[in-house]
Amino acid sequence: MLMKNSDRAATLFYQANGFRVMTPGSHVVCAVTAQAIPLELLRYWSAARQEAYADAAAATRRLCGGK
């Protein structure tokens, strides 16, 4: 059975001012909360860690050493 892009997580390459889609999908998973983040709503990530974050609070928590 074929999977639609809407059924799986995308693989992204995060850069300082954007990201490049390496494997198509509809969402990525937050590195802190494990919440699915639709690509059109993705606003927070770390290029150094190559991670996505659901919101500013999750990004701050991760970047300050929390998980």
As a whole number, mean pLDDT of residues 43-55 equals 97
Contacts of 66 (CB under 8 A, 6+ apart): 32
Number of domains in the chain: 1
Q: Is residue 55 part of a domain?
A: yes
The answer to whether 9 and 28 are in contact (CB under 8 A) is yes
Residue 46 lies in a domain: yes
In this structure, is residue 67 part of a structural domain? no
Residue 52 included in any domain:
yes
Is 50 within the bounds of a domain? yes
Q: Which domain holds residue 52?
A: 5-62
pLDDT reported for residue 66: 66
Residue 5: band (very low, low, confident or very high) from pLDDT cuts 50, 70, 90: low
Per-residue pLDDT, averaged over 24-48, amounts to 97
Any domain includes 16: yes
Q: What DSSP designation does 4 have?
A: P
Tell me if 43 sits within 8 A of 64, measured CB to CB. no
Retrieve residue 43's tokens.
Answer: 């606003």
- Asked if residue 37 belongs to a domain, the reply is yes
pTM across the whole model: 0.85
